[in-house]
Amino acid sequence: MEEKKLGLGSTVATGVGLIVATSCLLSLGVGASTVGIPFIIAMFVCCMLNLITAFSVSELNAMMPNLTGGLAQYSLAGVGPFLTIIVMVGGYLVCNTICGSAECAMFGNTLSTVFAGAGIPSQVYCTVLLVVLILANLNGIDMFAKIQDFVAYALVASLLIMGLIGCFEWGNGQVVHQSTVISGNPKDIFSLCGLAFFLFLGCEYVVPISKQVKNARRNVPLGMVLSLLLVFLMQAVMVIGFSHYTPWEALAQSSTPHVLYGSLLLGKAGTIWMVLVSVLAVTSTVNTAIASLGLIMSGMAKIKLLPSVFMKTNKKGAPYVGILSIGGIMILINLTGLSTTDELSFLILTGCVFWMMAYIISHLNVLILRRRLPKAPRTFRVPLSPVLPMIGIVGTVWMLYNIDSNLDVKLRIYKLSIGIFLLLAVYGAIWIKKVMKRPLFKPFQIKEVMAMEHELYQKYHK
C-alpha cells in the first residue's frame, strides 16, 4: 500500500512545530521586557537570517532530495565527515535532546504551579506527555502529521488571537499605560539578537520528512519560508500585546510570561487559555523533535556516522530505535531533575552554539558545491548567491558573538563549547579512522551519499 503523502499544511506545521516552544515564549518575554517594542527589530533581523538559512537548506535539498539525515548528509558531501560528526552527531543531537527536555520541564513546572492543589510533581506531567508522544510516533509519519497539524495551527491561532486582543486593547483586564520603548539605542536592541535568533531556530526540521512530502521540490522550501514568516508575525503581535497589558517589570521577573499576560488580559479565562497554549507548545515541539531526530539518526546511520541499529524500522515504517532513544533520554533527564536546574538555560545556549555552527556549515556547503559542481541540476537555487550565503555566515557569526548579553555567561558558554568541540574532535577522528575508514576531511561524492540512502546499498555494503 502506498504511503500517504504530506501536503504543504503539514510541512508548515512541522516547521512551526520546533520553532514555537515554551522556552521561546520565555525568551520573547525577556527580550520585550529589556527594550520594549524595539525588540521586534531584533526579531526581524534574525527572521531574515533564518530565511537565508532556509534558502541554503532548500538548495541542498534540491541537489540531494529525499535524504532522511538532512544536514548531516549535505555536510558529508560538502565539508567531509570530520566537521559533520562534530556539529551534527554531537552538538546537533545533544542540543536538540536537551532543548526538548527543557520544554517538557517548563511544561511540567507550569502545570504543577497552576494546579498546585493536585500535588502532582512536575516530572509526572513530563513523563506522561513523553510516553504518549513516543507511542504516537511509533505509529508512523501519518500519526505524527495528524498530531502536528492540530497542535501547531491551534498554537499559532491561539497566540495570534491573544496578541491581537492585546494590540487592540479588547481584553477585560486593566490596560497598562507605560512607555512602549524602554530603549531605542541600537546597541541595546542588537545585543538581543542572540536571544532573538533562538526564536526562529528549527525550520530545517522539515527536511527529514521531505521523502513523505507531496511535491517536495515546492513544498519543502515554501514550507520553511512560510513557517518562519508565520512565527515572526505571531511573535511581533504578542510583543505589542505585552506592552498594553503587562508591566515591563513584571514581565521581566516572570518565568511564564505568556501565562502572566493571559491572566492580565482575560483574567482566569486567559490563564487557562495560556496553560493550554503551554500544552500545545510542548506537544508541538517535542512531537517534532522525536519524529525528526529519529529520522535524522536513521539517516546518519546510513552514512555510517552512527551505528547501523538506528536504521531499523517497525511495521509502520517508524525508525523505532531512534524514537525510543531520544524519547527515553528525555524521560531520564526529566526524572533525574536535571531539566529543572538553574543551569538549564546556560546549557541550552551552549547547545545553540552547535546549532548555529550547523547553519554556518550549511551556507558553506552551498558555496562549496556551487564551485565544485556549478552545472549540477538544482530545482531550487539561493537567490543572489554567493552574496546571501555569505551574509548568512557573517550574520550567524555575529549571533554567536551576541549569544548572551552578559560577558561572564558568554565566556562560560565559549569555554564549554570549546571543551565539547575538543571531545567530539577526538571521538570523530577515532570513529572516522577506525569505523568509517575514510580521510577526515575528504568529502563524499554526492552520488555515493544519495546511494547510501537506499536499502540495497546498505545490504551489499555491510
Does 66 score more than 80 pLDDT? no
Q: What is the pLDDT of residues 183-192, one digit of tens each?
A: 999 989 988 8
Per residue in 151-179, pLDDT (tens digit) is 888 888 999 999 999 999 999 999 999 99
User: Mean pLDDT over residues 345-374, rounded?
Assistant: 87
Angle ∠(142,104,287) on CA atoms, nearest 5: 10
Closest by Cα among 199, 198, 216 to 208: 216
Residue 114 CA to residue 274 CA, distance in Å, equals 11
Tell me, rounded to whole angstroms, the distance of Cα 101 from its chain centroid: 13
pLDDT tens-digit profile of 380-435? 999 998 999 999 999 999 988 888 878 898 999 899 889 888 988 998 899 999 98
1 has pLDDT over 50: no
* Enclosing H/E stretch for 24: helix 22-35
Average pLDDT over residues 247-270: 92
C-alpha cell at 53: 538559512
Rg (CA), the chain: 21
Contact 167, 159 (CB under 8 A): no
pLDDT band at 344 (very low <50, low <70, confident <90, very high): low
Task: Give mean pLDDT, residues 112-121.
Answer: 81
Bridge partners, 181 (sequence order): 36
Helical pair 257-266 and 141-167, crossing angle rounded to 10 deg: 50
Per-residue pLDDT band for 458 (boundaries 50, 70, 90) equals: low
CB of 65 closer than 8 Å to CB of 408: no
For the chain, percent of residues with pLDDT exceeding 70: 93
Q: Are 64 and 302 in contact (CB under 8 A)?
A: no
Q: What is the per-residue pLDDT for 131?
A: 94
Least confident of 147-156, 186-195, 371-380, 436-445: 147-156
Q: How far apart are CA 293 and CA 299, in angstroms?
A: 10
Nearest Cα to Cα of residue 126 among 289, 335, 328 = 335
Picking from 390, 385, 457, 439, the residue whose alpha carbon sits closest to that of residue 84 is 439
Where residue 68 falls among pLDDT bands split at 50, 70, 90?
confident
Instruction: Give the least confident one: 9-13, 349-353, 364-368, 436-440.
Output: 349-353
The DSSP-derived string for 43-98 is: HHHHHHHHHHHHHHHHHHHHHSTT-TTTHHHHHHHHT-HHHHIIIIIIIIHHHHHH
What is the DSSP code string of 341-398? STTHHHHHHHHHHHHHHHHHHHHHHHHHHHHH-TTS--SS--TTTTHHHHHHHHHHHH
Specify the pLDDT at position 396: 93
CA separation for the pair 20, 234 (Å, rounded): 10
Closest by CA to 347, choosing from 409, 427, 396, 257, is 409
| Contact criterion met (CB below 8 Å) for 30 and 253 | no
Residue 460 banded pLDDT, cuts 50, 70, 90: low
All domains in the chain, ordered by first residue: 8-460 (1.20.1740.10)
pLDDT class for 223, splitting at 50, 70, 90? very high
How far is residue 110's CA from residue 22's CA, in Å, rounded to a whole number? Answer: 10
Q: Is the pLDDT of residue 89 over 80?
A: no
pLDDT tens-digit readout, 285-335: 888 888 888 888 888 888 888 888 999 999 988 999 999 999 999 998 888
Place of cell 524514537: 323
Give the three cell numbers for residue 112. 504543577
